[in-house]
Structure 1
Amino acid sequence: MSTPEREFDLQVNGARLRMQVLGADDAPVLLVHHGAPGLGSRSEPVRSFGPFADTYRVVTFDARGSGESEDVPPYTHAQWVADIDAIRESLGVEQVVMAGGSYGGFLAMEYTLAHPDRVSALVLRDTAANTDHDHLAVERARSTDRVPIDEWTISRIGTGAFADDTEFERYWRGILPLYDHAYDPEAVERKARATRYHYATHNAAFGQNMPGYDLTGRLGEIRCPTLVVVGRHDWRTPVPASQAIADGIPGAELVVFEHSGHSPQLEEPEEFQRVVRDFLRRAGVGRR
């Protein structure tokens, strides 16, 4: 039996967002936010959480300023959180399971803090509650023996300092080899070619939003069941960043994937799905 799937445009707070929904309309909603503003899109959440459409209504979308959605500023955490809630409201549901990876994890936590009654469970992947570990990414990029990474690329990690999409693509191609545990040059090239580049979104995210980003003092306010997962070899948001989140959220669970980099949901998909399904079952979220 095939899983129902549809793609459509949704007007949200003055911007057209591209949506992709998998699963039955009467299933509990699993709302997934992609990472990498200006680089990411719904394609990763569809691959990562598509298998969950047998039990959940998996809702994915390109955030404003990313993928196929409109470039309509502001690209702020407050605006992206408001967009998440507008999507939830459009679905006609009171609560969702909120999931997010990397920068999408920042927004998943921000949404949960802003709308605690709307989140039945929280799934965070390879993310952080502040910028304390960002310097380690620069150190890893400079010391890696995987591929040569030029100083121009290293100097722009997390800065949001790109003049146009051409510069932005140059940066992305330069840093992409660090993301996966097992380096595959052909996979890197496929990812680079498939990316839609929105440099202004990325500049706002990292040049304006991130310097003041710090949720560590508020993690204790998150009371819903929370799962935190991370790849052991994540160069961008290392294990200590996830450990800090799990330590700060009461009752949160931490699972480290030993054979993954920044994307255990793609590098160890079967184990990722098993862990998340088990967590959501124990959290009481799913069909009864």
Structure 2
Amino acid sequence: MNDEFFATINGASLKLQVLGPEDAPTMIVHHGAPGLGSRSEPVRSFGPFADEYRVVTFDARGSGESASDGPFTHEQWVADIDGIRELLGLESIVMAGGSYGGFLSLEYTLAHPDRVSALVLRDTAANTDYDYTAVERARTSDRVTIDPWAIERIGTGEFADNAEFERYWRAILPLYDHNYDPAAVERKARATSYHFATHNFAFGVNMPEFDLSGRLPEILCPTLVVVGRHDWRTPVLASQAIADGIPNAELVVFEHSGHSPQLEEPELFQSTVRGFLKRAGVGGAA
């Protein structure tokens, strides 16, 4: 099954895409980069799991094709995840998310521990302790010269309009992949749907208060934490801190990846996640 549709969740029209058999264990996958991201990355990353799992992806409010109705708080985005779960009649889910989607996956698991059978986190963090490393890596990159204007805006919410937001995104995109491909960077920039107000709220309002490090021991479900060795935005140390804080969490470092091991080492990523889910007792459909 590959079903795309709009659904009204907590008063906002959200675009959903559901893949895989209806009677299989279900994972809800949250994209990163609010205001830039969309379900397209989770579909590419987790679509292959639709042979054994029901994979639910969506554009979060304020991103992709979904409505730009606020608020863009973590509380609202967590409520939207649970609204999707309720809409689909799911008792429990595998919660998965990367980058900013990992922040929200952690938030959802803490808010609804009885609903999460397993947690998959990719290239994310539990606080902002390591944000300074992103600025340093951008400033010292030997790949491209990053516009100082863009460096000053990393991790901030200071964009006046979508044109300015796109200028920023094009400037920092070369940092994300382990293997730099200018043509791929251009394709990504052209394919992006820009929502500057969503990003401004996420990084200007939400992130200064974001710190879940003290609550990580509350997460008792099986947890897999994966990260690219060369991730410029959320370094290995941030993932290590999550794995150290969550009881019995597993950490896997992908040696030939940047911020997106799910796309840069897809076969290893898929086998790693499948193995984890089976060990966690969330085996796929026969």
1:108-167 CA-partner distances (Å, limit 9, x unpaired) = 000000000000000000000000000010000000011111110000000110000000
Corresponding position: 1:194 with 2:191:
yes
User: Which residue of the partner structure matches residue 226 of structure 1?
Assistant: 223
User: Which residue of the partner structure matches residue 237 of structure 1?
Assistant: 234
Which of the residues 24, 49, 54 maps onto 1:52?
Answer: 49
User: Which residue of the partner structure matches residue 276 of structure 1?
Assistant: 273
Matching residue's letter, 1:79: Q
Corresponding position: 1:217 with 2:214:
yes
Which of the residues 118, 122, 145 maps onto 2:119?
Answer: 122
User: Which residue of the partner structure matches residue 11 of structure 1?
Assistant: 8
Which of the residues 141, 154, 157 maps onto 2:138?
Answer: 141
User: Which residue of the partner structure matches residue 74 of structure 1?
Assistant: 71
**1:77 & 1:110 partners in 2: Cα distance?**
8
Which of the residues 97, 101, 107 maps onto 1:104?
Answer: 101
Matching residue's letter, 1:102: S
What is the DSSP-based 3-state SS (H/G/I as helix, E as strand, rest coil) of the residue aligned with 2:15? strand
User: Which residue of the partner structure matches residue 169 of structure 1?
Assistant: 166
TM superposition score normalised by structure 1: 0.98
Q: Which runs of 5+ in 1 are unaligned?
A: none
Which of the residues 109, 112, 129 maps onto 1:132?
Answer: 129
User: Which residue of the partner structure matches residue 154 of structure 1?
Assistant: 151
Alpha-carbon shift at residue 45 of structure 1 (Å): 0.1
Runs of 4+ in 1 over 4 A off after TM superposition: none
Matching residue's letter, 1:101: G
**1:13 & 1:164 partners in 2: Cα distance?**
27
**1:150 & 1:48 partners in 2: Cα distance?**
30
Please tell me the root mean square deviation across aligned C-alpha atoms, in Å: 0.5
Corresponding position: 1:32 with 2:29:
yes
**1:5 & 1:166 partners in 2: Cα distance?**
33
**2:43 & 2:78 partners in 1: Cα distance?**
20
Matching residue's letter, 1:88: R
1:72-131 CA-partner distances (Å, limit 9, x unpaired) = 000000000000000000110110000000000000000000000000000000000000
Alpha-carbon shift at residue 5 of structure 1 (Å): 0.5
Alpha-carbon shift at residue 230 of structure 1 (Å): 0.0
Matching residue's letter, 2:152: S
TM superposition score normalised by structure 2: 0.99
**1:248 & 1:68 partners in 2: Cα distance?**
35
Matching residue's letter, 1:16: S
Which of the residues 262, 271, 277 maps onto 2:259?
Answer: 262
Alpha-carbon shift at residue 263 of structure 1 (Å): 0.1
